[in-house]
């Protein structure tokens, strides 16, 4: 998975970059068809915001999280993305399973 990391009003340090890369690998554990991710880290006054767009096969997922600490914002962002990736994977799996069951039941009926 390719991760593009951008900072608005914040310098993206090596520790932030490593933290984002480490956390984003969690998404690949659940769904291996993630092609690339664009993460934007922003500081607005005292609020730290992390947002990301994840490009997967046939679907894009967007999430954002705002916290007082950048690391907490990244954690919240990854939690939201993780839930959405799991939901997308379950939806695909259920559709494929349902499709195969319908094909099988038609063969039995004949």
Q: What is the pLDDT of residues 43-58, one digit of tens each?
A: 998 999 999 999 987 7
Which domain does 91 fall in, by range?
2-109
What's the confidence (pLDDT) of residue 102? 55
Three-point CA angle 30, 75, 28, nearest 5°: 20
CA-based nearest residue to 63, from 54, 43, 72: 54
Number of separate domains in the chain: 1
Give all strands of the β-sheet with 2-8 in edge-to-edge order: 2-8, 34-44, 47-56, 59-67
Cβ pair 9, 2 in contact under 8 A: no
Q: Other CB atoms closer than 10 Å to residue 72's CB: what's the count?
A: 14
Tens digits of per-residue pLDDT, 48-89? 999 999 998 778 999 999 999 999 999 999 999 999 988 888
Count the helices and strands in the chain (H runs, E runs): 2, 4
Q: Rounded distance, CA 51 to CA 33, Å?
A: 20
pLDDT of residue 11: 93
At 55, which CATH number?
Answer: 3.30.160.100
């Amino acid at each position: 998975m390719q991760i593009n990391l951008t900072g608005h009003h914040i310098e993206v340090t090596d520790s932030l970059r490593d933290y984002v890369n480490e956390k984003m690998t969690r998404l690949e554990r659940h769904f291996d068809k993630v092609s690339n991710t664009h993460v934007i880290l922003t500081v607005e006054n005292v609020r730290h915001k992390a947002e990301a767009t994840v490009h997967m096969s046939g679907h894009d997922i967007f999430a954002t999280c705002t916290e007082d600490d950048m690391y907490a914002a990244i954690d919240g962002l990854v939690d939201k993305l993780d839930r959405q990736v799991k939901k997308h994977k379950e939806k695909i799996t259920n559709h494929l399973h349902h499709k195969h069951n319908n094909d099988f039941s038609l063969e039995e009926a004949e």
